Amino acid sequence: MFASKSVYAAALAVVIAATGANAVRAETGQLRIAQQFGIAYLPLIVASEKGLIEEEAKALGIAPPKIEWLRLSGAAAMNEALISGGLDFATAGITPMILTWDKTRTTAKIIGIAALGSMANILTTNNPNIKTIADFTEKDRIALPSVKVGFQPIVLQMAADKAFGKYDKLDELTVSMPHPDATAQILSGHSEITAHFTSPPFSQQQLASGKVHQVLNSYDVLGGPHTFNVVYSTAKFVNDNPKTILAFVRGLDRANEWIKANPKDAAALYIKAEGSKLTPDFVESIIRDKDVNFTTAPEGAQKLADFEAKVGLIKQAPASWRDLFWSGLGEKPGS
């Protein structure tokens, strides 16, 4: 089902109320969107391939912006480009976005535009003696994309906080390593890396090999589904381009509904766009996975922000998850 007309009408009302007289000002003629690699970014791929954002812009009565799709790796590069004005939309994990939101409250004022979806991240290991995180020893090493401040290390800290009452107990075991490299090492069995906290498709690839098993599921840590990656921008760009923002989110909503209705075609589109060597059946199985949900509604954002405040990563938690995101998302059933 597409999002209801009432939801979009309410969002548009929020836009008009927030912008007032400025709403008549011409909106941006270009939209520079940076994305990273991986199936988590499938909604952006679908929106791009099918021209959904441009269609929604026309429906809102504005000229479709010329969209430039960029590829950047890592939140640091994204943030630098966004704050310097070289980028309009950045994409990254939700926990780094919350950190940036906190650090720029009085400067660039970073704000979330939409979630890209909820995906369980899995902590895997090739050590048969490890059943829970309490079984790790000083001989083990846990690979993560970025120690301490990335999505996976923060969830690992949440798990350690619950299990040991000491959130940083496992930090000394973590090692920064890209997902592909960590996957190769943990499957080889001839590396110091004995565990890997990773995301789709790497978690599914590893588990399918039979050489590793699951130790931890991030959904269990947070007590339910959570957003993995998000799209964010600056408050100035959002305020200056209210209809463009709405067109973008509506385009993503349509992309998400198309993915759910056409998982086989979505898998084929992903493989073609990414030049992926994964098989169509394998990608389709990820799209159909019960722990994968492509949605623009943020999930678990408040819990993540509260924890980041608890351990001092941010100065103060938002009063509501809505404070982290564009006002139009307030109409969605987020958390």
User: What is the tens place of the pLDDT at every residue in 160-191?
Assistant: 999 999 999 999 999 999 999 999 999 999 99
The residue ranges of every structural domain in the chain are 5-119+227-331, 122-222
With 0-12 / 13-18 / 19 or more C-beta atoms within 10 angstroms meaning exposed / middle / buried, residue 171 is middle
Residue bearing the bigger pLDDT, 20 or 121: 121
Tell me the Cα Rg of the chain: 20
With 0-12 / 13-18 / 19 or more C-beta atoms within 10 angstroms meaning exposed / middle / buried, residue 55 is middle
Q: Which residues pair with 229 in a beta bridge?
A: 93, 117
Which tokens is 139 given? 């001989």
Per-residue b or e along 299-324, where b marks 16 or more CB atoms closer than 10 Å to that residue's CB: bbbbbbbebbbeeebbeebbeebbbb
Distance CA 193, CA 186 (A): 6
What is the pLDDT at residue 10? 52
Alpha carbon separation from 217 to 4, 120, 143, 227, 244 (Å, rounded) = 32, 6, 15, 14, 36
Position 21 pLDDT exceeds 50: no
Q: How many CB atoms lie within 10 A of CB 210?
A: 8
What is the pLDDT at residue 37? 82
In percent, the amount of the chain with pLDDT more than 70 equals 92
What is the pLDDT at residue 13? 52
With 0-12 / 13-18 / 19 or more C-beta atoms within 10 angstroms meaning exposed / middle / buried, residue 111 is buried
Quick one: which H or E segment has residue 268? Answer: helix 263-274
What is the pLDDT at residue 150? 87
Q: Is the peptide bond before 201 cis (omega within 30 degrees of 0)?
A: yes
Distance CA 285, CA 208 (A): 12
pLDDT tens for residues 182-239?
999 999 999 999 999 999 999 999 999 999 999 999 999 999 999 999 999 999 999 9
Q: At what angle do helices 42-50 and 52-59 cross, to 10 degrees?
A: 60
CATH, range 5-119+227-331? 3.40.190.10
Spatial CB neighbours of 230, under 8 Å, sequence gap ≥ 6: 91, 92, 93, 94, 97, 112, 113, 114, 115, 116, 298
167 closest CA partner among 225, 221, 128: 221
Cα separation of the two ends of the chain: 21
- In three-state secondary structure terms, 238 is helix
Q: Helices in 25-145 by DSSP H: which ranges?
A: 42-50, 52-59, 75-84, 94-103
pTM here is 0.89
Question: pLDDT confidence of 70, banded at 50, 70, 90?
Answer: very high
Distance CA 90, CA 132 (A): 35
Averaged pLDDT for residues 115-131: 97
Largest CA-CA distance found in the chain, in angstroms, rounded: 64
The chain-wide mean pLDDT, for the chain, equals 91
Averaged pLDDT for residues 309-329: 95
For 60, which DSSP code?
A: T
Question: pLDDT confidence of 103, banded at 50, 70, 90?
Answer: very high
What is the pLDDT at residue 314? 96
Position 91 pLDDT exceeds 70: yes
What is the pLDDT at residue 244? 97
What is the pLDDT at residue 11? 54
Same fold for the pair 5-119+227-331 and 122-222 = yes
Averaged pLDDT for residues 31-44: 92
Position 133 pLDDT exceeds 90: yes
Which of 59-68, 76-85, 280-289 is the least confident region? 76-85
Position 25 pLDDT exceeds 70: no
CATH, range 122-222? 3.40.190.10
Averaged pLDDT for residues 40-46: 96
